[in-house]
Chain A
Amino acid sequence: MSINWYKYASPASFYFLAGKMIPFFSVAAVIFLVVGLYIGFFVAPTDFQQGEAYRIIFIHVPAAWMSMFLYLVMAFWAGIGLAFNTRLSSMVATAIAPTGAMFTFLALWTGAWWGKPMWGTWWVWDARLTSELILLFLYIGFMSLQAAIDDPRRADKAGAIIALVGVVNIPIIYFSVQWWNTLHQGASVSLTQSPKMATTMLAGMLIMSLAAWMYSIVMVLMRTRVIILERERHTAWVAELKGATR
């Protein structure tokens, strides 16, 4: 049963591979962040309706994209781990959750900051914000369940099931919230109804998204390395590693 790629998917080799990849992605993250923020704050023109406050979308929109995307990626790897019993994919799923939750929280936070000057209130029950809030609950559920289970094998599998159930539910929840929103406040303000975007605005947002991507990759790799060490602490290669650093 020795498939070639399986060897590269072993926690030990991934540990070293990830170690080599982290600096590369970190540099990329910093570069994209600096360029993106520069475009966002200095190059992009002031919006004639929303003034300077709109500039928060350079963080808000990439964070919202990332939060939804990371949930899918997390569920994907958790599902692979459940179906094929590959430990590494389950570890990656566990490592993704906190970053995903962080971006969800960031999207909510920046949404509130944007809302205050725009609509004079920190919170509106806008369909997007509400869905984002529910997404945060789903992340919290996944993380609390895994945290409550001591046996890592059970934690991986249980987490995978709840993540997959969440994925099936996300479209249903999103659709329900949309319906609920149109029903209750017909002419509500929406974060999506932004005026036509200038090209520089779009460029800034895309570059910020790339920065968020790179940042997520770095964080997930780092966290996966920690999880690998924790779970493999009794294996020979970790002992060797410990001996080498001493």
Chain B
Amino acid sequence: MLQGNNLECVRGDRVLFSGINFSIKPGELMQVRGPNGSGKTSLLRMLCGLAVPNSGKVSWNGANIRSISEEYCGVITYLGHMSGIKDELTAIENLRIASALSGVEVDEKRACEALHQMGLIERENLFTKLLSQGQKRRVSLARLLLVRTQLWILDEPLTALDVSAIELMKNILERYLAQGGMVVLTTHQEIDVSAAVTHQLYLS
């Protein structure tokens, strides 16, 4: 279970948000909404431990994530709005390296299957600089199919995706939630993911 207690974020002189409380249980989804600059990315970075809240704490199964950081890294998958895709590597190399960094080594065949599932067929061995933005996004999303973690923290995962890919993503999220996964998500697109419980968090 992921919990946020009284989270506060200060940037320079400005308080972006304060007093944020929530708790997410297996099978639940939290959508973070708010205008540009309201601190959505900052909140997500706090949830995965990259940033330290100015006050309050994030806890995983009751333990502060600061004190269990390596263990916690093993149960989450974070996709930032920067894709982490290297132009000079092929789609398959990118995916295999990204998965290895998350602690799961996959062979070429499984990586290839995941790319196919994401709708990237016959593009596996192209350098990613030859792919479109949407296709690059699909490469980074393919990691979600390979890495079995309990919590996904996704920052604008739908950017640059076309309608069919958004539909695909919706199915992936729903399947994951049905299996007891937890998802924290920011998005500007409307996406109607059905989950056991959907929390809405507005930052203003």
Contacts and interface: CB of A to CB of B under 8 A. Distances in A.
Q: Do chains A and B touch in the complex (CB under 8 A)?
A: yes
Contacts of A150: 12
B192 interface: no
A246 interface: no
Contacts, number: 4
B71 interface: no
B122 interface: no
A150 B12 CA distance: 9
B70 interface: no
A234 B13 CA distance: 8
Contacts of B13: 233-234
A233 B12 CA distance: 12
Interface residues of A, number: 4
Interface string A141-169: 00000000011000000000000000000
Interface string A203-246: 00000000000000000000000000000011000000000000
Nearest to A150: B12
Contacts of A234: 13
A153 to B, nearest CB: 8
A46 B202 CA distance: 79
B146 to A, nearest CB: 34
A234 B11 CA distance: 13
Interface in B5-20: 12-13
A45 B12 CA distance: 58
A206 B7 CA distance: 53
Interface string B90-121: 00000000000000000000000000000000
A227 to B, nearest CB: 16
A233 B13 CA distance: 9
Nearest to B54: A153
A234 B12 CA distance: 11
Contacts of A151: 12
B52 to A, nearest CB: 8
Nearest to A234: B13
Interface string B8-39: 00001100000000000000000000000000
B87 to A, nearest CB: 29
B69 to A, nearest CB: 16
Contacts of B12: 150-151
A210 B13 CA distance: 40
Nearest to B13: A234
Nearest to B14: A234
Which residue among A150, A233, A234 has the maximum number of chain B CB atoms within 10 Å of its CB? A234
Interface in B146-165: none
B9 to A, nearest CB: 12
A150 B13 CA distance: 12
A20 B13 CA distance: 29
Nearest to B52: A153
A210 to B, nearest CB: 41
Nearest to A152: B12
Contacts of A233: 13
A49 to B, nearest CB: 60
Interface of B: 12-13
4 shortest interchain CB distances as A-B pairs = A234-B13, A151-B12, A150-B12, A233-B13
4 contacts: A150-B12, A151-B12, A233-B13, A234-B13
